Amino acid sequence: MTSKIDSIIEDFELLDNWDDRYRYLIELGRTLPPFPEERRTEQSKVQGCASQVWLVSEARPDNDGPHLVFLGDSDAHIVRGLVAILLALYSGRPAHDIAATDPTSVFERIGLKEHLTPQRSNGLRSMVERIRAEARRVLADTVH
């Protein structure tokens, strides 16, 4: 079975030009589930993003340790697409996998690295760090 992130990578590889890839990125953002208005708080806001980005997680117990499910949103279309990619990569996975997963290879395969402005790249790094920090926090909480 192909994972959601693998499907996204395959779709990106089928698109030859960056106008089509940006359109696809925007479409991915439109597939995000609605973000609850009451969760749009300063605490859920990702610092370091030029656009407004909100990210929340919920830990769910599982046999191989806690799994994290993420919800995210942004006020910018392309950034919403980036959030969708990150959620496809990380959401629903064990916290120990999330903390250990570096998304660089995914971004390189998609070709995002060289097609994002420095500002968006910084925001993307901030989102990844927030997700991985949340996984580390959940892991630390389960040890105590």
Catalytic residues: 49
Map residue 73 onto helix, strand or coil.
strand
- Residues 6+ away with beta carbon under 8 Å from 75: 51, 52
Q: Using the structure block, give the residue that is written with the tokens 């097609």.
A: 115
Instruction: List the one residue out of 128, 116, 63 whose CA is nearest residue 90.
Output: 128
CA atoms within a 13 Å half-sphere pointing along the CA-CB vector of 17? 2
The Cα–Cα gap between 14 and 93 comes to: 27
